[in-house]
């Protein structure tokens, strides 16, 4: 695996430690929020706004990274912000404080993500790009197995002790911050020279001047985000099956293990047979999962659905970013990924807020059937409108 450079290894390890920290908390976050008075509707709005902050900042800081020709300062600052924010989340059991710290955590993700993905892209070629992004996603997501595992063990011995668990999550976050200090700038990074100074309006200018392939691809990805609400609702739906918190965390670990295990093989397969083919398979699996959650019952089926949901994530997450970087000039990579994720997160704000309302007024099954039907339409759009050509 000569295409996995030292920089790719370091970035992947930083992501592993960060996900250990964040995913240690993710499956218990909705439970904690409900314990301090958040309703199901407010949880949906809360998660949507958190993701919107992430996405909007990804576009802004991605453009800034391209214009400066620097990746590392954005990566290090972003991981530092998130590492500090998480343990402070439970300092005060007040909705406004929780929102503020969650926003700082998500802003950190927004600062670092586009620059990090652009650095990954700078370190490889189009023929190996899905493999590299798949490798990164594998280590990143393995952290999402270790983190909930620690949470599961801790809550087994100290049930409902959420505050100390948030403090424990600080330590892998600190490891991520320290490891990020080893990252070096890529010699292949190209500084954008077409625009002087950073302007928010330059993101709209980039979209206007981007290629038709980029626009078609991003339109489909954002349309999918409009009906793909936060995974928090999957965890809450699992709770509706009557399982306890330990079982929910175990399901989340299992999903992330499958996601991590299949990310690199899916990337390698996508490089061989086409990114679009694998992505379409992922969409089909996603639709089946949501229909299954709505129409069937039983804990055994629940395990199966979380298994195939992990395969869906492996077939779409890293591949979507590899696909975007392959239809974009190298000097615009961070801007292209950042612009997409900005639009994606605004769509997530809408979908998560709407999901909470649909669940509250019409029930969980209606939400999951609506999501499955919407995904089917997105699948047909990708099949007919987005070309197979990736370069």
Residue 59 domain flag: yes
Range 187-200 burial, b when 16+ CB lie within 10 A, else e: eebeebeeeeeeee
Spatial contact of 226 and 381, defined as CB atoms under 8 Å apart:
no
* 3-class DSSP assignment, residue 275: helix
How far, in Å, CA of 369 to CA of 101, rounded?
A: 33
In a domain, 191, yes or no: no
Helix (H/G/I), strand (E/B), else coil: 90? coil
Whole-number pLDDT of residue 391: 39
Q: What is the mean pLDDT of each run of 10 residues along the chain (391 residues)?
A: 84 92 74 71 70 75 84 92 80 74 85 90 84 90 85 82 81 91 76 52 71 91 89 82 77 88 92 92 96 84 92 92 85 82 80 84 91 95 79 39
Helix 275-295 vs helix 299-326: crossing angle, to nearest 10: 150
> In this structure, is residue 351 part of a structural domain?
yes
Q: What are the tens digits of pLDDT across the range 120-141? A: 988 888 788 888 999 998 998 8
DSSP string, 157-215: HSTT-HHHHHHHTHHHHHHHHHHHTT----TT-----SS-S--THHHHHHHHHS-HHHH
Number of domains in the chain: 1
φ, ψ (nearest 5 deg) of residue 30:
-65, -35
Task: State the pLDDT at residue 390.
Answer: 45
Share of the chain above pLDDT 90, in %: 27
258 inside domain: yes
CATH code for the domain in which residue 58 is found: 1.20.1250.20
Distances (CA, A) of 90 to 54, 95, 164, 229, 383: 20, 10, 9, 25, 45
The per-residue pLDDT for range 309-355, each reduced to its tens digit, is: 999 999 998 899 889 988 888 778 888 888 887 788 788 778 877 88
Which residues 6+ apart lie within 8 Å of 311 measured at CB?
Answer: 258, 259, 262, 266, 282, 285
Quick check: helix, strand or coil at residue 45?
helix
> Which region holds residue 192: left if phi is over 0, alpha if psi is between -120 and 50, else beta?
beta
pTM of the model: 0.77
Given this model, what pLDDT does residue 286 score?
96
DSSP for residue 329: -
Query: Could you tell me where the DSSP H helices lie in 1-71?
Result: 6-25, 29-35, 40-68
C-alpha–C-alpha distance, residues 390 and 376, integer Å? 22
In a domain, 92, yes or no: yes
Rounded to a whole number of angstroms, the CA Rg of the chain reads 20
Q: Tell me, yes or no, whether 355 lies in a domain.
A: yes
Instruction: Classify residue 298: in a domain, yes or no.
Output: yes
Residue 105 maps to a domain: yes
The range of the structural domain enclosing residue 332 comes to 7-184+203-385
Distances (CA, A) of 104 to 34, 36, 50, 176, 228: 21, 20, 9, 17, 23
d(CA 3, CA 89): 39
């Amino acid at each position: 695996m000569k295409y996995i450079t030292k920089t790719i290894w370091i970035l992947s390890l930083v992501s592993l430690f960060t996900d250990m920290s964040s995913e240690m908390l993710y499956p218990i976050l909705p439970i904690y929020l409900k314990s301090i008075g958040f309703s199901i509707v407010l949880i949906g709005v809360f998660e949507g706004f958190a993701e919107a902050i992430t996405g909007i900042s990804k576009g802004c800081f991605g453009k800034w990274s391209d214009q400066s020709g620097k990746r590392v300062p954005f990566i290090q600052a972003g991981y530092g912000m998130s590492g500090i924010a998480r343990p402070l989340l439970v300092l005060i059991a007040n909705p406004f404080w929780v929102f503020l710290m969650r926003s700082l955590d998500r802003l950190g993700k927004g600062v670092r993500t586009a620059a990090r993905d652009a650095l990954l892209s700078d370190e490889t070629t189009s023929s190996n790009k899905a493999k590299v992004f798949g490798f990164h996603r594998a280590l990143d997501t393995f952290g999402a197995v270790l983190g909930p595992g620690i949470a599961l063990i801790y809550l087994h011995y100290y049930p409902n002790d959420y505050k100390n668990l948030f403090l424990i999550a600080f330590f892998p976050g600190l490891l991520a911050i320290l490891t990020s200090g080893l990252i070096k700038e890529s010699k292949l990074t190209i500084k954008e020279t077409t625009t002087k100074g950073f302007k928010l309006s330059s993101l709209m200018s980039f979209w206007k001047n981007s290629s038709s392939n980029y626009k078609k691809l991003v339109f489909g990805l954002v349309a999918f985000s409009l009906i793909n609400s936060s995974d928090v609702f999957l965890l809450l739906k699992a709770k509706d099956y009557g399982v306890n918190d330990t079982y929910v965390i175990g399901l989340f670990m299992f999903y992330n293990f499958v996601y991590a295990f299949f990310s690199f093989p899916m990337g390698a397969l996508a490089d061989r047979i086409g990114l679009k083919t694998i992505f379409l398979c992922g969409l089909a699996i996603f639709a089946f999962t949501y229909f299954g959650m709505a129409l069937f019952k039983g804990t055994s089926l629940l395990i199966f659905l979380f298994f195939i949901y992990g395969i869906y994530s492996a077939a779409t997450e890293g591949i979507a970013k590899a696909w975007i970087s392959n239809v974009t000039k190298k000097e615009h990579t961070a801007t292209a990924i950042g612009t997409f994720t900005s639009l994606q997160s605004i769509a997530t704000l809408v979908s998560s807020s709407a999901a909470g309302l649909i669940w509250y007024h019409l029930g969980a099954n209606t939400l999951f059937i609506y999501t499955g039907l919407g995904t089917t339409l997105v699948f047909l759009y990708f099949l007919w409108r987005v070309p197979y050509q990736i370069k």
